[in-house]
Amino acid sequence: MTAPDAGRGIGNGEETTTFGLPRDSFRILHVSTGNVCRSPITERLTRHALADRLGDPLWGGLIVESAGTWGHEGAPMEANAETVLADFGADPSGFVGRELLDDHVIRADLVLTATRDHRAQVVSMGHSAGLRTFTLKEFTRLVRAIDPATLPPLEDGVVERARALVRAAAALRGWLLAPTAEADEVFDPYGAPLPFFRSIGDEIHEALDPVVTALTGVPART
As a whole number of angstroms, the longest Cα–Cα distance in the chain is 44
Q: What is the pLDDT of residues 66-125, one digit of tens each?
A: 999 998 999 999 999 999 999 999 999 999 999 999 999 999 999 999 999 999 999 999
146 pLDDT more than 50: yes
How far is 69 from 92, CA to CA, in rounded Å? 21
DSSP H/E element including 216: helix 194-216
